[in-house]
Amino acid sequence: MGRLQFRRRSTGQIEAYYVYAFEGSPFSLKIGAYDRTGIIGFTLAHCRKQAQEFAALHKEHPHLKRWLEEEQRRIEREQAAAVACGTFADLIDSYVDYLRTQNRSSADAVQRELTVSVKKAFPELARKRGHTGSALIVPLHAAGGGVGPWPSSAGIFRDIAFHGHFINQPRYG
């Protein structure tokens, strides 16, 4: 498995590491600065606990350092994707713009209704950003029908998930 190791730097700072071997090569994961009092670093108890957590992960992932780096990159990609996704309000605006590009007479009515019924009524929902892997809303094109991003004979959303309840929205065409 691995072990807890302490190293003293030339500055006098003591740092804690979890050290393990993978295919005969040593690898180390920095736990952090050690301080007996816990004021400017981690206590021995904390360092031991972190080393035990690394040891448990090491059982599942033999090359722990590589796995942790891959996990960090995955998390960063997911966060970047979530930031790149627009808000629910952006999606509503996009749909209204789409209706206008199709010269739909209902575009203004849809905008008024969604502004009052969603954006103003549920501002937290309107500010909610989308993210990959989980849908807050179900656009109708995901429900089938129509050509292009929006079906030709259905409204903006089939259902809007809000706090575990589904609010059926009127269909605009």
**Predicted pLDDT at 83:** 63
110: helix, coil or strand? helix
Give the gyration radius of the chain's Cα atoms: 26
pTM: 0.51
Task: Count how many Cα atoms sit within 13 Å of the Cα of residue 40 in the half-sphere of its side chain.
Answer: 4
Q: Which domains does the chain have, with CATH numbers?
A: 2-83 (3.30.160), 88-168 (no CATH)
**Predicted pLDDT at 25:** 94
**Predicted pLDDT at 67:** 93
User: For residue 50, what are the contacts with CB-CB under 8 A and spacing of at least 6?
Assistant: 16, 18, 31, 32, 42
**Predicted pLDDT at 42:** 94
The pLDDT profile of the chain, 173 residues, written as one tens digit per residue, is 799 999 999 999 999 999 999 999 999 999 999 999 999 999 999 999 999 999 999 999 999 999 999 999 988 887 776 666 678 888 888 888 888 888 889 999 999 999 998 889 888 888 887 654 444 444 433 434 333 443 333 344 433 333 333 333 444 44
